[in-house]
Amino acid sequence: MASGETSIPRTPALSIPRETLRSKLERFPWWFVAMVSMALATMGVIFSQPSYNQAFVFIRAGIHVTITTTLAAFVISLLIGLMAGLGRISRHVFFSNLSTLYVEIVRGIPMLVLIFFIAFVAVPAVTSALNALGKMLVDAGVTWLAWLTRIENNGVPMQMRAIIALSVTYGAFSAEVFRAGIQSIPKGQMEAARSQGMTYWQAMRYVILPQAIRNVLPALGNDFVSMLKDSSLVSVLAVRDITQVARLYAGQTFRYPEAFTTLAVLYLIMTLILSLGVKALERGLSHGQHR
Amino acid sequence: MGNTDDIIVVKNVSKYFGKVQALRNVSLTVKRGNVVVLIGPSGSGKSTLLRCMNHMEIEDEGEIWIDGQRLTRDEKSINQVRADIGMVFQHFNLYPHLTVLQNITLAQRIVRKRSQEEAEAIAMEQLKRVGIAEKAESYPAQLSGGQQQRVAIARALAMKPKILLFDEPTSALDPEMIKEVLDVMLDLARAGITMVVATHEMGFARAAASEVHFMDEGSIVESGTPEMIFDHPRLERTRQFLSQILFR
């Protein structure tokens, strides 16, 4: 290394400036090391101290609820978001206005309030509307839809309401991500596809969306991390996710520090793993970038 | 339309962008197998006229007939007409997420409904024609501008179009790459393909054009053979434009 540098002493302007130890140290992600050591230290405490260990074993039971709720809500939010995003850029007056209305309403209501609203207002309203529709259809002789009358509001589990609420909220966010992603593709792409006789939807499906989705994957990954954190809000519906279970544990045992420290560390570990995944995805995408 | 030899008929076409009039009562007939070159300063309406011919822009007044069929606003019929009209753009507009081969087979498969094998065979044939068959598996970003434009021409040819439209195909190219594209276009012209070309390449126009139209401020102001337009322009405006581009 050192001999390589001394062999070209006369052309300092052409040689790439060597990275100094100082600049390497400055750029090193110390925060990440600190975060990981904090997580590890807390894990150490959790496994060595019986009271923390007990809290961890209790709270652990909520992990699968947190993960299934987040995953299901994320997949549904992507579908809603893609449709609403396409609606936002649609030249069709009805669809573009409907999508904008949806996005603006959701953006104007706090997520916690929206969760209450969907769980206790929207879902009951929809079930009674379906009941009424079913009744009308049965009266009109469409008996195979009689099951519509049997849907009960109480029959909709709270976890399902939580998933609906999260996906409706995040659908509005990802709608904007998709819209921006589609609009970032140069106009010439759509023109080239249409000039070859493709329909608008064929051009979208085969030319625009493959490029747009690739561009927005990192942003959607970050949304997924945010959603994992925001899934803690569904504990207000008594869905037994890790936040709710931690609250129950704290309420029963009065061991507040144990419950909430464990809870915080659990979230941190999950989001850390996911963020690393998103970073790897970003790196993979930029590596295989064909532009 | 009367004469079946007239493959493109533009009749009294006007086009407005807001308050700006891009085309003023333009009429133009292109005969089957002819090469028509449009010249004129930027903003003169060359591109707009070209884009009206496959309804990428829709005329506000007048009529456009392609091979005996009047262009309408009907989506289905315009898609069929567009499949028969190849278009080559200034900025190539290749699909960056697809390989060269996939760029050429995509529309063949979904618009022409050809099988994968047939589309690939036609694609390779056209790639050979433009002289870059060896780049079939490359991505557009791995090619030079000249190569990309030749792929774009192959992509248009693979649809077996009746007409090829070229919208300033060499304007975005580095000077040393212009010739390879013009050579391909010259071959196509000699093969008898109907072409409408908006360009500033006088050499190409002289060698290939059946007729040249000089456009200014949305109108065709002077038309004739390349010799008539380049060597003996009638109008002062034409002379002025030619002197500007020749001594550029």
pLDDT digits (tens, 9 = 90+) for A61-119: 999 999 999 999 999 999 999 999 999 999 899 999 999 999 999 999 999 999 999 99
Give how far A198 is from chain B: nearest CA, Å: 6
In chain A, whose CA is at the least distance from the CA of B155?
A196
In chain B, whose CA is at the least distance from the CA of A189?
B93
Task: Report the top-level CATH class of A65-239.
Answer: mainly alpha
Nearest to B79 among A188, A199, A207 (CB): A199
- Window 142-161 of B: residues touching A by CB (8 A cutoff) are 142, 155-156, 159
Residues of B in contact with A198 (CB under 8 A): 79, 107, 110-111
Predicted pLDDT at A8: 47
Predicted pLDDT at A143: 78
Contact B140 A188 (CB under 8 A): no
Q: Which residues of chain B have pLDDT under 50?
A: 1
Q: What average pLDDT does this structure show over A145-160? A: 83
Q: What average pLDDT does this structure show over A263-284? A: 88
A5 pLDDT tier (thresholds 50, 70, 90)? very low
User: For all residues of chain A together, what is the average pLDDT?
Assistant: 87
- The domain locations on chain A are 65-239
Contact A192 B93 (CB under 8 A): yes
Residue environment code for B134-147, b if the CB has 16+ CB neighbours within 10 A, otherwise e: ebbebbbeebebbb
CB of B14 within 8 Å of a chain A CB? The answer is: no
Segment A11-54, tens digit of pLDDT: 445 555 666 788 888 888 888 888 888 888 888 888 888 888 88
Predicted pLDDT at B228: 93
Residue A155, token pair as written in the block: 């029959």
A282 pLDDT tier (thresholds 50, 70, 90)? confident
In chain A, whose CA is at the least distance from the CA of B76?
A199
Give the mutation candidate from B79, B90, B103, B163 for the A interface (greatest A CB count, under 10 A).
B79
Nearest to A206 among B75, B106, B156 (CB): B106
Confidence check: pLDDT of A290 > 90 = no
CB of A291 within 8 Å of a chain B CB? The answer is: yes
Share of chain A above pLDDT 90, in %: 57
